[in-house]
Amino acid sequence: MNIQTQRWKEPEYTKRQVNDAGNIIRNDDASPDEIALATEVIDNWRAAHAYPMHVIYMHLRRMAANRKDILVVERLKRLDSIIGKLQRESGMDLWRMQDLGGCRFIVPTVDEVFMYADRIKSSRVRHEYKRSYDYINNPKASGYRSLHLVYKFHSDTKDTYNNNLLVEIQFRTHLQHIWATALETMGLFTKQALKAGEGDEYVKRFFVLVSSLFAIKEGYPVVPNTINDKAELIAEIEEINDKYHLLEILSAIRVALDHENGASIDKKGYYVLVLNYNIRRLRIRYFLPSQIDEANRLYTHIESNRKVNGIDAVLVRAASFGDLKAAYPNYFADIGEFLSLVSEYLK
């Protein structure tokens, strides 16, 4: 990998400056000038994770080899998500936030989740393994189920990257993935931070119950505060859906695709997805692998106007448009499989 050719961002600020920026951005009383300067620091710190994240992404791609039933994508954390996490977790320092750069490794079965996680832990990668979070054997109260590994990046050639740049790898089954993206779809279009445990209680409860159904299907523990009984879970899901019509709401969400790049869209490289949830329109901008700097600039510009324009954006690298759509169906409202599975249970 030629780091110069790609024009990757490097960290430009100290640990103290990064943490000060995080403290300013979580402060509701900060002035516009303070917020602007803090956002500049945060954007550089986030963008500096692109190279470490990509190195790990390429390692995961090699592990997946030519298997078409495994999806591997990388993404930089959205600014809204960074701010939300800082505001929710008072003890969180931006310097040690572990998922600014993240990779998803999506496989068919739970056995493969743990097999590939063990494989990367026992491989000869030079990055420092920090910790893991097993949300499959210990699901989150929100219903989220996945296995996370966190690595501290190490470079033999560029010491500026040996500066506490953390990358999180999310190993998920396909079933866990469609649940997570359906939750995010509902959150995006109802403007509720469901992923963060906020929003209407009946919506959160609905997804918790479905997650437990999926856990039973995979033979793993159900979500806390739910019963390990399929019939009772289905009965409660039916009760909520009959009252609030959540499946109908999800079915009604449709997004019109609008992209500017024609046939070139189905190439490996960087994609900026811009979802306008007011008019339900998705716009896609494609960049060559060597255009990471331009992609980052556009991403920053879009996010700086997100609240005014009612938009949500994400910068992702994928091997093809098909992989991108499969890994981020929440941005395409392609949640048909989730709806089919839940509807089948309710029959």
* CATH code of the domain in which 113 resides: 3.30.460.10
pLDDT range class, residue 116, cuts 50, 70, 90: very high
* pLDDT computed for residue 54 by the predictor: 94
Q: Do 140 and 262 lie in a common domain?
A: yes
pLDDT tops 70 at residue 79: yes
287 lies in the same domain as 216: no
57-61 average pLDDT score: 95
Paired tokens of 197? 């445990």
Please tell me whether residues 236 and 320 are part of one structural domain.
Answer: no
* Residues spanned by the domain of 198: 180-253+336-346
Angle at 114 (CA atoms; ends 111, 172), nearest 5 degrees: 85
**How much is the pLDDT for 254?**
59
- Percentage of residues of the chain with pLDDT beyond 90: 57
Separation between Cα atoms, residue 60 and residue 260, nearest integer Å: 30
Per-residue pLDDT of 146-162, as tens digits, reads 999 999 999 988 899 99
Residue 258 has pLDDT above 60, yes or no: no
Which of 255, 250, 223, 244 lies closest to 343, judged by CA?
250
Asked if the structure places residue 80 within a domain, the reply is yes
**Of 30-34, 37-41, 236-240, 334-338, minimum mean pLDDT range:** 334-338
Question: Cα(323)–Cα(146) distance, rounded to whole angstroms?
Answer: 19
The answer as to whether 4 is a domain residue is no
What is the three-class DSSP state of 342?
A: helix
Are residues 307 and 242 part of one domain?
Answer: no
Give the pLDDT mean for 54-58. Answer: 94
pLDDT of residue 308: 64
Burial class (CB in 10 A: 0-12, 13-18, 19+), 4: exposed
* The pLDDT of residue 48: 96
Contact 194, 182 (CB under 8 A): no
Among candidates 223, 286, 279, which has minimal Cα distance to 255?
279
Rounded-to-integer distance, Cα 248 and Cα 254, Å: 12
Query: Looking at the domain assignment, is residue 315 inside a domain?
Result: yes
Q: Looking at the structure, do residues 282 and 307 belong to the same domain, yes or no?
A: yes
Indicate whether 165 belongs to any domain: yes
Backbone angles phi, psi at 207, to 5 degrees: -70, -35
Looking at residues 199-208, what average pLDDT do you find? 96
The pLDDT of residue 213: 98
> Could you tell me what percentage of the chain is helix, strand and coil, using 3-state DSSP and rounding each to the nearest 5?
50, 20, 30
Type of residue at 85? K
Q: Looking at the domain assignment, is residue 100 inside a domain?
A: yes
One-letter amino acid at 67 equals R
pLDDT at residue number 262: 43
Q: Which of 21-25, 26-30, 288-292, 325-329 comes out lowest in average pLDDT?
A: 325-329
In a domain, 5, yes or no: no
Angstrom distance (rounded) from CA 45 to CA 75 = 14
Average model confidence (pLDDT) for the chain? 88
170 within a domain of the structure (yes/no)? yes
Residues 220 and 284 grouped into a single domain = no
Please tell me whether residues 142 and 278 are part of one structural domain: yes
Work out the average pLDDT over 253-262.
55
Residue 174 and residue 85 share a domain: yes
The segment with the largest mean pLDDT, out of 76-80, 126-130, 167-171, is 167-171
pLDDT, residue 126, reads: 87
Binning pLDDT at 50, 70 and 90, where does residue 255 land? low
Give the pLDDT mean for 196-215. Answer: 95
Higher pLDDT, 171 or 190: 171
Cα–Cα distance, 204 to 145 (Å, whole number): 15
81 and 194: one domain? no
Count of structural domains within the chain? 2
Same domain, 21 and 104: yes
Q: Of 96 and 27, which is predicted with more confidence? A: 96
Helix (H, G, I), strand (E, B) or coil at 284: strand
Question: Residue 263: pLDDT above 70?
Answer: no
- Do both 184 and 108 map to the same domain? no
Does 3 reside within a domain? no
Q: 144 and 71: one domain?
A: yes
